[in-house]
Amino acid sequence: MEQPVRNTRKVFQRISPDRAMDLHLHTQWSQDNLDGPAMAEYIPLAEKFNLHIGFADHFELLYYEHPNRRQKYGKWRLTPDTIDQYLEEVDALKEHYPFVSSGLEIGFSSSISRQGRIRNFIDDYRNDFDLFLGGIHEIEDFHAVVMRQDLEILIEKYGSFESVVEKYFDLEEAMVQSQIFDAIAHPDVIFRFLNPQHDEQVLKYRQNTRIFQIGELCQETGTMMEVNLSGYRFAWGDSLPSLDKIHHLLASGVSFIVGSDSHSLTDLSQSILRIRKINNLIREIDEKPRMYHVF
């Protein structure tokens, strides 16, 4: 199957140089955030803090009709049947506010048939959205690495946290190699429950080089990586990837977007300083000669 024609820099055409970007906001369209804010509620904060915001609600193309998902979450709000309604809402804001972008966050699957469905959808809607974010939320169906209880089940099944981490990164490599998405969301979100004050696995994270291999693949495929700030809302207390690894990846030539992964107005408000800090870091590195490393 032919790869969909991607324009991974399309989103930047709308971003004014004087605005800090946050391209990963969730609204009440996301199934895990049905009581969250409407798109328009983010606008005053974007104006106040001079942000360029991008909506990236969860579009679970693979699971919205699965009985297990419907039983747990009820009727799915964002589906192929409602995607045009979603677009109408965000496009109405884009007409009035040039600092708004449209996007989706879509979970990746190792299943070739499921990948085909995602490709076909993105191919059909390529011109309608500014950004398609791919994410690894599960390494097997219905056990999410982004939920502590599910992660503990996976650790018990595979024998160790390290084994789950390796499976996670194997799937992430496959996602980048697929070249389906413009950018990968929260590249090492599997670490967000680790507590640097207590968990011995943190040292292994510091020594783990898989994220650098992912960075090399991103460069080879023209895929961007996200600096995801949701880690500050968990025990991890750092960005994903962590700041020390971001410096290395930036210097090596990896292209980044910034996302707070906000699910509420409070999440965004509390992320403002970090959003600005990471945006300034990216701009600073972009203005210097790149140093390419072999990992």
- The HSE-up count of residue 107 (CA atoms within 13 Å, CB side) is 22
pTM over 0.85: yes
Query: Residue 283 and residue 87: Cα distance in Å, rounded?
Result: 30
Over residues 248-265, the pLDDT tens digits come to: 999 889 999 999 999 999
| Confidence band of 10 (pLDDT split at 50, 70, 90) | confident
Residue 41 CB coordination number (10 Å): 14
Hey, which CATH number is domain 10-286, 2.160.20.10, 3.40.30.10, 3.20.20.140, 3.40.47.10?
3.20.20.140
Whose CA is closest to 24, among 249, 178, 229, 247? 229
* Residue with more model confidence, 25 or 72: 25
C-alpha distances out from residue 213 to 74, 176, 210, 225, 265, Å: 38, 11, 5, 12, 35
Strands 143-144 and 138-140 turn out to be antiparallel
The pLDDT tens digits of the residues spanning 117-175 come to 999 999 999 999 999 999 999 888 777 888 888 888 988 999 998 899 999 999 999 99
Q: What is the three-class DSSP state of 21?
A: strand
